[in-house]
Amino acid sequence: MHPLLNKIVNIYARRCDNLKFIAVVNPVLSIWNSDMSKRKDKFQFLFPSDIAQFTVEEEFLPQKDPARIFFYGRLVPEKGIFDIPFILLELKKYKTNFKLHIAGRFFLKEDEITFFNLLRRYNLIDHVKYMGFLNDTELKNELLKAKVLLYPSYSDSFSIAVLNSLHLKTKVVAYGIPTLK
């Protein structure tokens, strides 16, 4: 979040008495938000994902489906959601037998409409299965079956999606952003 916007959000959050709690997934945020983090009754640090939950014994790893691609995360422009149709168009030039499974939630209805309009415009709708939000077990099963994780993110600090995928021996195709390099 932009530092100025972060400051404004903090001011409003401190003044809002009806908030039950404020949760962050990065411990650095408790330093940046020291005024809020002093309120131990409301401020909580959450670890976003425990890699141990994705542990599978080697002998129980299923066969990867060579036609299955998986994408999951926040379905927002900075995570590359609008790049996906164009990536699939390129893939379609070389391989027609593929299916992209997408998990996550669109934060804005406009983004969802635009994304599906792009898929329809380029005749890609049959190559995509939108699954919505998945719990950890469903997510693990999708990662186990997928041949590759498509991860066209422009913005990341530490990607749990990439970490979980590699842990389950699912290849990752991503942009060369500094964090992933």
Per-residue pLDDT tens over the stretch 19-50: 776 666 656 666 666 666 565 566 665 555 55
Q: Please report the beta strands in the chain, taking only residues with DSSP state E, as ranges in sequence order.
A: 22-24, 43-45, 65-72, 99-103, 128-132, 146-151, 171-174
pLDDT band for position 82 (50/70/90)?
very high
Q: Are 31 and 10 in contact (CB under 8 A)?
A: no
What pLDDT does 80 receive?
A: 93
* 1 against 102, higher pLDDT: 102
What pLDDT does 113 receive?
A: 97
State the average pLDDT over residues 98-104: 96
What pLDDT does 169 receive?
A: 85
d(CA 152, CA 77): 10
Q: Are 101 and 131 in contact (CB under 8 A)?
A: yes
* 133 against 160, higher pLDDT: 133
Q: Are 104 and 75 in contact (CB under 8 A)?
A: yes
